[in-house]
Amino acid sequence: MSLKNSKITVIKIGSSLLIDHKKRVRKKWLTSFAEDVKNLRKLNQKIVIVSSGAIAMGCKKMNILKKNLKLDKSQAMASIGQIELMNLFSEIFSKFKINISQILLTLEDTEQRRRSINARRTFENLFNLNYIPVVNENDTIATSEIKYGDNDRLASRVAQIINADNLVLFSDVDGLYTDNPKKNNKAKLIKEIKDIEQDLTGVNIKGINEYGSGGMKTKIEAAKICQLSGSNMIIANGLKNHPIQHILNGDNYTLFVSKLSKLDARKKWILSSISPKGSVIIDDGANKALGNGKSLLAAGIKKVVGKFNKGDHIKVLNKKDKEIARGLASFSSDEIKKILGKHSNEIEKILGYVSKSEVIHKDDMVEII
């Protein structure tokens, strides 16, 4: 899905875009970026910004050199700088009446299913409140073993968690080249990559890692995560004012096209759930309907086992207790107990509120063959 048509977009900006080499904050640039974000919102996009800059802002405030800082010192700088960073965002984005919030994540938050589901709910609630979450790594507590250390991969995990259509990584170069463009004038910008392994053969990986803030290695790692999670990824030059507009205008950039559709990625994720929270036992009619790719309705459910919440992974069993599908429940186990066997148009009356009519929507369910 193109950036213009994207429904959920994650945009990552690096420290060098926010603070120049003379340690000046690039307010004019950030203002142009905020205006671009406002325009994306007019297209009804849900947006998350992943921003670096905590350590750089902390060092600026304390007048300390960022280079060669030890981990404990950089954590203190991140603590001092994160609030500066958010104040900056708040000051600039409020000019466009955009509400922002802060989310600090560690590697564990995005790698552990439970925590990532929690994070996902928070993102969804913030979208509903019309807030734009600004994410950074929780540098202050992340030790080296549990640290991303780069916001490229963190941003790709965020894209995966919230099922984004596009992730934009703004760098200080136009995209991924066949070699280091600063050293080799024959280096060419790669415009589109469909298969990372295949399309990168012949690319001087060592050379390309020497240019661009943070290097290209972590960006390729991020692209691998995106390709398997149904999200496209763009590496583009963010230095110019109105960086998003430049992409929409078709300027130079590198596009990594996702291998899986979002739907397939979602289904893969559902199947990979290690511990479903409960199960529902369904009748023959529902069993047949599921086989035809239909959603699971309350009418076909005979029994609920276990205690689970709305959004939890559950198993779907046939009358013989055989697992035939797995999916995300649209209702809690307590709610299903009240509505099982009932027609969908009775649900609202029984529960007393408007809700989805499917107990598991077909997009949230995978058949087990």
Indicate the Cα dihedral angle 56, 58, 63, 68, nearest 10°.
-60
Give the nearer residue to ligand GLU in terms of CB position, either 110 or 151: 151
Provide, rounded to whole angstroms, the least separation between the CB of residue 351 and ligand GLU: 43
Which residues make Cβ contacts (< 8 Å) with residue 349, sequence separation at least 6? none
User: Measured between alpha carbons, how far is 165 from 212 in angstroms, rounded to an integer?
Assistant: 24
Question: Can you tell me which residue has the tokens 């007019």?
Answer: 42
The answer to whether residues 11 and 36 touch, using CB atoms and an 8 Å cutoff, is: no
Give the nearer residue to ligand GLU in terms of CB position, either 156 or 273: 156
Provide, rounded to whole angstroms, the least separation between the CB of residue 210 and ligand GLU: 17
Provide, rounded to whole angstroms, the least separation between the CB of residue 141 and ligand GLU: 12
Nearest to 36 by CA among 103, 126, 129, 132: 132
Give the nearer residue to ligand GLU in terms of CB position, either 52 or 160: 52
Give the nearer residue to ligand GLU in terms of CB position, either 136 or 295: 136
Cα–Cα separations (whole angstroms), residue 354 to 28, 127, 294, 329, 350: 46, 20, 21, 16, 10
Provide, rounded to whole angstroms, the least separation between the CB of residue 239 and ligand GLU: 15
Provide, rounded to whole angstroms, the least separation between the CB of residue 103 and ligand GLU: 13
Provide, rounded to whole angstroms, the least separation between the CB of residue 75 and ligand GLU: 10
Phi/psi of residue 345, each to 5°?
-80, 0
Give the nearer residue to ligand GLU in terms of CB position, either 155 or 298: 155
Provide, rounded to whole angstroms, the least separation between the CB of residue 14 and ligand GLU: 6
Provide, rounded to whole angstroms, the least separation between the CB of residue 140 and ligand GLU: 10
Indicate the Cα dihedral angle 342, 345, 350, 352, nearest 10°.
160
Give the nearer residue to ligand GLU in terms of CB position, either 139 or 179: 139
Give the nearer residue to ligand GLU in terms of CB position, either 130 or 143: 143
CA angle 51, 195, 48 (to 5 degrees): 20
Provide, rounded to whole angstroms, the least separation between the CB of residue 73 and ligand GLU: 13
Give the nearer residue to ligand GLU in terms of CB position, either 74 or 231: 74
User: Measured between alpha carbons, how far is 327 from 317 in angstroms, rounded to an integer?
Assistant: 11
Binding positions for ligand GLU, rule: CB under 6 A: 14-15, 52-56, 78, 136-137, 139, 150-151, 214
Give the nearer residue to ligand GLU in terms of CB position, either 14 or 243: 14
Going by DSSP bridges, is the β-strand pair 232-237/296-297 parallel, antiparallel, or unpaired? Answer: unpaired
User: Measured between alpha carbons, how far is 363 from 198 in angstroms, rounded to an integer?
Assistant: 31
Q: Which amino acid is at 163?
A: N
Give the nearer residue to ligand GLU in terms of CB position, either 54 or 359: 54
Provide, rounded to whole angstroms, the least separation between the CB of residue 180 and ligand GLU: 20
